[in-house]
Amino acid sequence: MRTQTTIAIFTAAALALASFAADAQGRQKQGGAQPQERAQVERGQKDFDRDRLRDRDRATVPGQEHDRDRDQDRTHAPDQAKFGDHEIYGSELMSEQERNQYREQLRLSESDPKAQTKLKAQHKEQMQARAKAKGVELKEPDAE
């Protein structure tokens, strides 16, 4: 009887050890996957936070995006997109409508340098006549 009890104790101990070993092995496998899953969750949380902050900034400063775009347009304007008021000869003597009309004429004549030169010469004569009539002296524009 004593032999049976000893065998039963050894069997129970072996089963317990096998159970603990299997449990430990399962935890080890699970532990290897956890850091990857945790990193993925953290990246997702960072993305979510970043997007939330961007949305909040857009909601609280609605004109800022427009200002940034306008500033970018100014700094990255192509050379052909000049013809601002300071570059139009006699612009101070012209109405806004006349300046816009002149810019459009210059834009349309860009492909024909002779026509553009003629247009500029006619414009200069007109502005000199206006300046003389008003008793104003015109200075040459920065770039034309």
Calculate mean pLDDT across residues 50-63. 71
Task: Output the DSSP codes for 88-142.
Answer: STTGGGS-HHHHHHHHHHHHHTTT-HHHHHHHHHHHHHHHHHHHHHHT------S
Lowest-confidence pick of 46-55, 59-68, 87-96, 111-120: 59-68
Which pLDDT score, from 0 to 100, does residue 80 have? 42
Q: Is 78 a residue whose pLDDT tops 50?
A: no
Q: CA-to-CA distance for 107 and 97, rounded, in angstroms?
A: 15
* 84-131 tens-digit pLDDT: 555 888 888 899 999 999 999 989 988 998 999 999 999 999 999 999
- What does the pLDDT read at residue 29? 58
pLDDT for residue 118 = 93
Q: What's the mean pLDDT in 61-82?
A: 53
- Taking the CB of residue 90, how many other CB atoms lie within 10 A of it? 21
Q: Is residue 93 a contact partner of residue 136, using CB atoms and an 8 Å limit?
A: yes
Residue 77 has phi, psi (to 5 degrees) of: -70, 135
**pLDDT one-digit tens code per residue, 5-20:** 898 898 988 888 788 7
pTM: predicted TM-score of the whole model, two decimal places? 0.41
79: pLDDT strictly greater than 50 = no
pLDDT digits (tens, 9 = 90+) for 19-41: 877 777 766 655 555 667 777 77
Collapsing DSSP to helix, strand or coil, 75 comes out as: helix
